[in-house]
Amino acid sequence: MKHWFSVFFVGGVIAYRGLFNWIRPAMYIPTMLGSPLFQLIFFTKLGQYAHAGSRDFYVVGNSTQVCAMSSVYGMTMAVANERSYGTLGPLLASPANRAAVFLGRGLPVLANGLLVSAFTFGAAALLLGFRPGVGTLPALAAVVVVTASSCTAFGMLLGSIGLRAKDYFFAANLAYFLMLLFCGVNIPLGDLPGWMSTIGRCLPLTHGIAAARKVAAGASFGSVGTLVLTEAGVGAAYAAGAYILFRILERESRRSAVLDAY
Amino acid sequence: MKHFLRILWSGLWLNLKMLSTSTFFLLTSSIQPVIFATIAFYMFRAGGRSGTLLYAALGAGMMGVWSTTLFASGGMIQWQRWQGTLELGVAAPPPLVLIYVPFCFANAIVGGYSLAATLVWGRLLFGVPLHLMHPGLFVLAVPAAILSLGLFGLLLASTFVLYRYANAMSNLLEYPVWVASGLVFSVSLLPAWTHPISWLLPPYWGILAIRHAALGGPVWGPLGMLALLGVCSVAVASVTMRWFEYLARARATLALT
């Protein structure tokens, strides 16, 4: 069990440091902090111009969604870059527990996603006058943790696809942009056609953002319990799917001898 | 003159072919603008401003032109380095700036797919009417904006190269220029101190020219500003490009990634 945790924690951190391409400050600050900040300003101003929703609607939606910068891109890199850097073979040849190897990579990604979201919420408070009640902050933080975890699980699925697919970054980029459209980040689900809101409800973020909006408006954590549980359930389903896909693609790559093919 | 035109055409055609087969630029120039256009359409509809859907379509298209120019031109010299073709370009007899001008035009032209994509998307899915106030000026404004952005791309290419993480700069500058140029909302929503920044950006004048040609308003002023900024971009890029070439030769860092 000790070995399992060692692979989970130490292995996860080492993999993150080695495989997350944007870890250097010169890359991290513009990409992981600058871009979410301007995304927030862009959509808040667009909403203001379109008279579509209140300022807080866009602040909470975008500040929560930007955790996907880390979850989607970070997790994709943390898994798929093993193949790009030629280290996938040695990794899979090791006897380490696959669940520990795979899930351990999610922990630093999750921490990073929370940092990005917290930074964006802070920027919204400083620049856009976002003022949730102090009493709402613990509940808001808890909702964002669940949402970022769920989003990280989704990133794991994308990363697993990257074990086999050639252009995995295309999928990560596309997923990130589609989340902006489908997950109620900037458009209430009720304004979307039925099929789009149905897809949105099957994606991470959607229920978490809805819960975060209610909490920021003063609702108690208990009153958004169903939304938070649904978000956690969506995340658990993606994590399970990602792990199963990882094992299937690992076995198939061994069988067809394309483990390191690129 | 014949050699000059041949360089322009070869560079343009070669880069157009390369960009058109890149999935990243397919995403940036065709898929991403359509996603942003859809978001903008729903937001404008929710706000009861459905009369402004053409405004949103044009703005979202211009967002794609900027993104493609930014990523393609900003990373152009770095990619040449990675591919090992930068030394060949520097060693060739024509000035370096002349070699990269057609590449930058190609980048902006691929960005032009975005405008077509968002207009067609808006028409087919949202019934956005394509009634242009000044069709003749619209046909003039679109290539003028693309050309000016292409030349601005040359400036980006020649300055980003000094920054090792050019792609980080590209990631950073995508949204701020969308904001400062007022591509899908009016810059009057922004603080007054940001307005001079907007005036220095070709996308700001580009969308003004295109929007006024489509929806009504003065077009020649923005077109003049596009021409002026294009000339300034080439002038500054000629100097920075020569400076970069000199530094890279002197320090023997031309091929270093």
Q: What is the pLDDT of residue A262?
A: 59
Q: What is the pLDDT of residue B257?
A: 58
Q: What is the pLDDT of residue A177?
A: 94
Q: What is the pLDDT of residue A136?
A: 94
Q: What is the pLDDT of residue A197?
A: 95
Confidence of residue B164 (pLDDT cuts 50, 70, 90): low
A42 CB neighbours in chain B (<8 A) are 175, 178-179
User: From chain A, which residues contact B within 8 Å (Cβ)?
Assistant: 22, 24, 26-27, 29-31, 34-35, 38-39, 41-42, 45-53, 167, 169-170, 173-174, 177-178, 180-181, 186-188, 191-192
Task: Evaluate if residue A51 carries a pLDDT over 80.
Answer: yes
pTM of the model: 0.92
Evaluate whether residue B256 is within a structural domain: no
Evaluate whether residue B81 is within a structural domain: yes
The mean per-residue pLDDT over the stretch A120-128 comes to: 96
pLDDT tens figures, A207-233: 999 999 999 999 999 999 999 999 999
Nearest to A80 by CA among A175, A22, A157: A157
The mean per-residue pLDDT over the stretch B86-99 comes to: 87
Q: A50 and B47 in contact by Cβ < 8 A?
A: yes
Confidence of residue B256 (pLDDT cuts 50, 70, 90): low
- Counting Cβ atoms within 10 Å, is residue A211 exposed (0-12), middle (13-18) or buried (19+)? buried
A49 CB neighbours in chain B (<8 A) are 184-186, 189
Confidence of residue A2 (pLDDT cuts 50, 70, 90): confident
The mean per-residue pLDDT over the stretch A6-22 comes to: 86
Given the cut 0.90, state whether the ipTM is greater than it: yes
Evaluate whether residue B48 is within a structural domain: yes
Q: What is the pLDDT of residue B50?
A: 60
More confident residue, A143 or B163: A143
For chain B, the domain total comes to: 1
Mean pLDDT across chain A: 91
Residue pairs between chains A and B whose CB atoms are closer than 8 Å: 96
Q: What is the pLDDT of residue A49?
A: 92
The mean per-residue pLDDT over the stretch B118-147 comes to: 92
- Counting Cβ atoms within 10 Å, is residue A201 exposed (0-12), middle (13-18) or buried (19+)? middle
Evaluate whether residue B70 is within a structural domain: yes
Q: Which residue has the tokens 């509940």?
A: A139
Evaluate whether residue B257 is within a structural domain: no
User: How far is the CA of B141 from the CAs of A143, B63, B207, B223, in angstroms?
Assistant: 48, 16, 9, 7
C-alpha to C-alpha distance for A174 and B227, rounded to whole angstroms? 35
Mind telling me how many Å the CA of A97 is from chain B's nearest CA? 35
Q: A180 and B39 in contact by Cβ < 8 A?
A: yes
Evaluate whether residue B79 is within a structural domain: yes
Q: What is the pLDDT of residue A92?
A: 82
DSSP-based three-state secondary structure for A39: helix
Q: Which of A24, A27, A28, A45 should one mutate to test binding to chain B, selecting the residue with the greatest count of B CBs within 10 A?
A: A45
Q: What is the pLDDT of residue B246?
A: 86
Evaluate whether residue B65 is within a structural domain: yes
Confidence of residue B89 (pLDDT cuts 50, 70, 90): confident
User: How far is the CA of A17 from the CAs of A11, A170, A260, B248, in angstroms?
Assistant: 10, 22, 21, 31
Domain that holds residue B121: 2-250
Q: A45 and B189 in contact by Cβ < 8 A?
A: yes
Evaluate whether residue B229 is within a structural domain: yes
